[in-house]
Structure 1
Amino acid sequence: MSLRRATRSESTKLFTTSIWWLLGIVLVAYIAFTAAAVGLAFSLSASGSLGDDAPVLPAEGLAPTLYSTATSVGYVFPLLLGTLMVTGEFRHKTLTPTFLAIPRRGTVLWAKIVVGVLIGVIYAVAGIVAAVGPAAGILVANDLPTALDEPDTWALFGRMLIAYVLWVLVGIGVGALVRNQVGAIVGVLVFTQFLEPVGRAAAAFVTELNDVVKYLPGAASDALVGASLFTVGMPQAESALEWWVGGLVLLGYAAVALLLGHLVSWRRDVS
């Protein structure tokens, strides 16, 4: 079977299930709520409405920081979906008929990558809209610039789209490497919501850690995007990777995960 037919089969598997749109709804709601809450606090601070004793954030660069909520807190959703695209097949044993119909397993994996790119773009658009909508509205309400008329802002959106696609590919690689769905999901959540955030927070106080922490996936993603909620006021943000280096690092994680998944797990027998 050709890659085109395999891709059609994989897209049917994904889009005829509810997981992609259910996870998408949670993605939009979570990002919109976070962007609104943080946007309100930051905007009040930048406009000096919190009182004389409260810290004042600079208005410059505030809009991109709020818009980056889509990636800085939302990247776990494309990562989880990519993981579920593969581990769900192991769990429900749908890979057995797939491999019988498509003996070339590499073709199946490539088809998942193509579909992963598509769903990554869809999630990116949804996440960007969810972040920009409430954030821009709050900025306008506080007489602060939205920067939506600036080319740099639209370049930021483009890099956010790339980040989403790469996160889906990382998830596909993780799913191919760790067959157990529960184990893969728990591992993803523990690393993204605990281990890496703790490491990045520690780097704010131990500068020697920054040389290592900045190459972690989340930090590389933030560097690629060029803005993040987690780098506001942090001194190590000045030594972050260049955006293209961050993109290459995140691409490297995706490539390594996919390659190891193919070599170590994808070729094994499926019961």
Structure 2
Amino acid sequence: MSLINASRSEATKQFSTAMWWILAIVLFVYVAFTATALGFVFSAASTGSLPGNGPQIPADMLPSLLYSSATSVGYVFPVLIGTLMVTTEFRHKTLTPTFLATPRRSTVLIAKVLIGILLGVLYAVVGIVASVAPSAGFLAGFGLDTGFSSGDTWALIGRMVIAFVLWVLVGIGVGALVRNQVGAIVGVLVFTQFLEPIGRVAASFVEGLSDATKFLPGAAGDALVGASVLSMSAGTGASTGDPLEWWAGGLVLLGYAAVLIFLGYLFSWRRDVS
């Protein structure tokens, strides 16, 4: 079977099940809620509408900070869909007929990567709409600049699309390396929602630790996008290092995806399946 046919088959597998759109809905709701809450608080604080001392963020930084909430809080969803693209086949043993139809296993994995890129773009659109729409509404409502007239804003949105695609590829690598679906999902959630955030916050208070944590996947993704609520909150401590340049962050995240996919192919993908 050619790569085109394998990709067509992979697309049918992914889009004929409910998992992709269920995760997309959860992504939209989660990011929209976060963007709405942050949009109101930050916009109101910037205009002095909040009682007491609210978060003091320069008005010109608000658009990028709020719009990037799609990646800073929602990046776990493209990782999960990428992981499920692979582990679901191991769990339900659908890889057996797939490999019988396409003996070249590398072709199957490449087809997953190609469809993963498509899903990454799709999830990026969902996440960006969920973060930009409510954020821009609050910015405009409080008389603040939405940033749409700035090329930097559109460049940031473009980098968010790239980040979503890379996160899906990271998930595919995790799924190829860790066959057990429960183990892979739990590992993704523990690392992205607990271990890395804690480490990045700790780096704000430990001298020199930020020089290492900036190479973590989430930090690299934030550097690629160029803005992040987590980076802002982590930067309130006593010690902060210089973040990676956006292109360096993209290369680091691409490196994680490439290494995970290669290791998954080398140690797991070529093994026998029942």
- Shorter-chain TM band: over 0.9
Residue type at the aligned position of 1:219: A
- Report runs of 4+ in structure 1 exceeding 6 Å deviation: none
Query: For residues 237 and 63 of structure 1, do their structure 2 counterparts lie closer, same or farther at Cα, with a shift above 3 Å needed?
Result: farther
Indicate the larger mover: 45-54 or 200-209.
Answer: 45-54
Whether the aligned pair in 2 keeps the contact of 1:48 and 1:56 (CA below 8 Å) is: no
Residue 242 (1) aligns with residue 245 (2): yes
Shift in Å, 1:53: 3.9
CA distance in 1, matches of 2:208, 2:116: 36
CA distance in 2, matches of 1:70, 1:30: 9
For 1:145, the equivalent position in structure 2 comes to 145
Residue type at the aligned position of 2:270: R
User: Which runs of 5 or more structure 1 residues have no equivalent in the other structure?
Assistant: none
Residue type at the aligned position of 1:77: F
Shift in Å, 1:178: 0.2
Residue 29 (1) aligns with residue 35 (2): no
Residue 16 (1) aligns with residue 10 (2): no
For 1:252, the equivalent position in structure 2 comes to 255
Residue type at the aligned position of 1:173: G
CA-based RMSD: 1.1
CA distance in 1, matches of 2:240, 2:144: 24
Shift in Å, 1:51: 3.1
Aligned length: 271
Residue type at the aligned position of 2:252: V
For 1:101, the equivalent position in structure 2 comes to 101
Instruction: Give TM-score, length-normalised by structure 2.
Output: 0.97
CA distance in 1, matches of 2:28, 2:134: 11
Residue type at the aligned position of 1:191: F
Post-superposition Cα deviations, 1:204-240, rounded to whole Å, max 9, x if no partner, equal 1113110110000000000000000112251666600
Shift in Å, 1:177: 0.2
CA distance in 1, matches of 2:13, 2:265: 20
Secondary structure of the equivalent of 2:117? helix
CA distance in 2, matches of 1:19, 1:254: 22
CA distance in 2, matches of 1:39, 1:72: 14
Post-superposition Cα deviations, 1:231-254, rounded to whole Å, max 9, x if no partner, equal 225166660000000000000000
Secondary structure of the equivalent of 2:244? coil
Out of 247, 262, 265, the residue aligned to residue 268 of structure 2 is 265
Shift in Å, 1:130: 0.6
Shift in Å, 1:142: 0.8
Shift in Å, 1:55: 4.5
Secondary structure of the equivalent of 1:257? helix
Whether the aligned pair in 1 keeps the contact of 2:35 and 2:135 (CA below 8 Å) is: yes
CA distance in 1, matches of 2:54, 2:70: 27
Instruction: Give TM-score, length-normalised by structure 1.
Output: 0.98
Residue type at the aligned position of 1:223: A
CA distance in 1, matches of 2:263, 2:54: 50
Shift in Å, 1:149: 1.4
Identity of aligned residues (%): 66
Secondary structure of the equivalent of 1:239? coil
CA distance in 1, matches of 2:230, 2:79: 19
Residue 220 (1) aligns with residue 220 (2): yes
CA distance in 2, matches of 1:142, 1:23: 32
